[in-house]
Structure 1
Amino acid sequence: MHSSTLFITLTTALGLVSAAPTDKTYNPTKTSAASRTTHTVIAGRGGRLIFDPDNVVAEVGSIVEFHFNPLNHSVVESSFDTPCQPKDADSFFSGFFPVREGQSDEVFQIEVKDTRPIWFYCAQNNNAHCQSGMTGVINQNFDRQEFSLRAHKELAAEVEGPSGVQGGIQGGWRIPNPNPLGGF
């Protein structure tokens, strides 16, 4: 047996033969979406009136996922100038998440659609949570300190009267908690 015949026989037996090139172009029919980054924000971490983190930097197309700890929290979109009030009729609102212990069985997700700042707050207890500093921002403009999260929290502390909430869950998705054992 010639050495070239032995080589062909061994490579064929070992499955090492590659197909000969063809002039056909490969056209896959399967498509896949690029994975998105999900940013987790915890409402009420450690029993405190906070969002953790309260300042999120997220790319367009990212998901911000709110997890809820005891006792009862929500997340509502606001504007910088009017903290503790819905931004407008289309503002996102998670609904209230009453949690006795542990964390909620559901989370609330929103998609970041542009690079403008997205201000948010907890509407629980007629603004007591918001006024106590339970506010946050996605994509704060760090070049404009007059519109910082610190300044927003100062405005929220001055709000009097009940907070506004939307009529129902809107502007995002309330889904089963994808990480129920996360220990938040």
Structure 2
Amino acid sequence: MFAKTASIVTLLAAVASAMPAANAGTATTGGKLASRTNGDPAITHTVVAGLGGLHFDPDNVVAEIGDVIEWHFLPANHSVAQSSFGAPCKPLNTGNGFFSGFQPTPSGQAPDVFQITIEDTNPIWYYCAQTKGDHCQAGMAGVINQNFNSATNTLAAYKAAAALTGTSEIPAWVNPLEGVIANPNPLGGF
């Protein structure tokens, strides 16, 4: 009886070691696996563009280094472009920002999503660059890792400044296909 129990325990241990760990991270652009320095698995944060109107949901995300931010796009045509707090609705002028390209979606979800991997905990400001309907000026803007100790650099202040800008600028200096992957959850129900 003891030998039979020991072999069952050995078999279960072998099966368990062959199974992938729960929450083992999500593949990011280029097939790299997001990771954390402390050994915890990376988290994928989902942001939906256009859910219930001209906004991102959620529009304020707190993420750790190695986490992935993944934007899903709903009708009709949205994008996500990196900005700075001081110049809302305009792409970063350094050429180091990101841009999803436009994701036209007649119904349901777009066939693609846009992902970035968080490399530090500095605030990342972003907006929808759609100029028809001035999405950014209407409130379609967001932040990752807002500094909650700042009384002035808040998401509300960023959106208020965005409302006062002219028209949004479409980034011209980045490859919009970088970070765009097939939607891993096209039936997500957003």
Partner of 2:2: 11
Q: Distance in 1 between matches of 2:97 and 2:42?
A: 23
In the alignment, what sits opposite 1:113? 119
- Offset from partner CA, 1:75-109 (integer Å, 9 cap, x none): 00000000001113121000000000001111000
How many corresponding residue pairs?
161
Tell me the residue number matched to 2:77. Answer: 72
Give the 5 Å matches for 1:13-52. 14-16=4-6, 35-46=41-52, 48-52=53-57
Distance 1:176 1:57 in 2: 24
The yes-or-no answer on 1:131 pairing with 2:153 is no
Q: 2:152 aligns to what SS in structure 1?
A: helix
> Structure 2 residue aligned with 1:93, among 99, 104, 112?
99
Q: What RMSD, in angstroms, separates the aligned Cα atoms of the two structures?
A: 2.2
Aligned to 1:145: 151
Partner residue in 1 for 2:181: 175
Deviation at 1:125, TM superposition (A): 1.8
Contact 1:89-1:166 at 8 Å conserved across structures: no
Structure 1 residues 159, 135: CA separation in 2 closer, same or farther (over 3 Å shift)?
same
Rounded Cα–Cα distance in structure 1 between residues aligned with 2:154 and 2:123: 10
Does 2:66 match 1:61?
A: yes
What's the CA shift for 1:36?
1.4
CA distance 1:103–1:96, change in 2 (3 Å) = same
What per-residue deviation string (whole Å, max 9, x for no partner) do you get for residues 152-175 of structure 1?
001100111341313443595111
Q: 5 Å matches for 1:155-166?
A: 155-166=161-172
Closer, same or farther: CA 93–167 of 1 in aligned 2, 3 Å: same
Q: TM-score if structure 2 supplies the norm length? A: 0.78
Divergent runs of 4+, >4 A: none
Tell me if structure 2 keeps the 8 A contact 1:39–1:65: yes
Distance 1:133 1:39, change over 3 A: same
| Unmatched runs of 5 consecutive residues or more in structure 1 | 1-9, 20-31
User: Residue 129 of structure 2 contacts residue 170 of structure 2 at CA under 8 Å; is this kept in 1?
Assistant: yes
